[in-house]
Chains A and B, each alone.
Chain A
Amino acid sequence: GENVEQHPSTLSVQEGDSAVIKCTYSDSASNYFPWYKQELGKGPQLIIDIRSNVGEKKDQRIAVTLNKTAKHFSLHITETQPEDSAVYFCAAPSIGTSYGKLTFGQGTILTVHP
């Protein structure tokens, strides 16, 4: 099955700096890579996703890049704000045997200091 590794486990930045979180995956057939943000006491919320036919996608201050050859994808947050502080998860699907199964990374606790 799919194995997803996420780094770093914690990330502390100053407001206005950029933050980068990286994930690797094992199933070369994976074709969909979402990123979720989880705030305290809430469920994970999708913030951006990318499909395997593109290398980069941007939405305002967040962007995701995908390198299919190396089997890794990254989340980039620019001009960070205190409200970006949360736990971020990457995920990748298992293709074929487990319909719809998403394997999540271990999570990154992002803290943005004002």
Chain B
Amino acid sequence: DTAVSQTPKYLVTQMGNDKSIKCEQNLGHDTMYWYKQDSKKFLKIMFSYNNKELIINETVPNRFSPKSPDKAHLNLHINSLELGDSAVYFCASSTGSSQPQHFGDGTRLSIL
């Protein structure tokens, strides 16, 4: 009964490939997020969806495209992977603004 689950946990791939990360939450939350954590542990928001609508879109390359098929799922598709995309990607969810965010355990993406 994991609250926020991401798959896969590890993703190792070649530069130039396209990959997807999936996220699901069973908390009944309306808002979901994608964060990127770099090698220095810095956490930065990438996207946020509220009831399947995009509400936050930080300065992220167009190669990153989030998709929310329903409010319990938020997937992240990355095209033409680059070395600099290597990081840990976290999905999170909350009931809304200024509310606790619940994080998944991350997807470690390594680009060869």
Bound: A42/B106 CA distance, A: 7
Residue of B33, B42, B90, B97 touching A106 (CB-CB under 8 A):
B42
User: Residues of B at under 8 Å CB distance from A?
Assistant: 4, 31, 33, 40-45, 48, 50, 55-56, 90, 92, 94, 96-106
Q: B101 — which chain A residues lie within 8 A by C-beta?
A: 34, 46, 102
Main secondary structure of the interface of A (DSSP, over half): strand
Chain A, interface residues (CB within 8 Å), range: 20 to 34
Do B56 and A101 touch (CB < 8 A)? yes
CB pair A32 B103 closer than 8 Å: no
Q: Which residue of A lies closest to B57 (CB)?
A: A98
**A→B interface (CB under 8 Å):** 31-32, 34, 36, 38, 41-46, 49, 51, 87, 89, 93, 95, 98-104, 106-107, 109
In the complex the two chains form, is B42's CB within 8 Å of A100's CB? Answer: no
Closest residue to A51 on the B side, CB-wise? B98
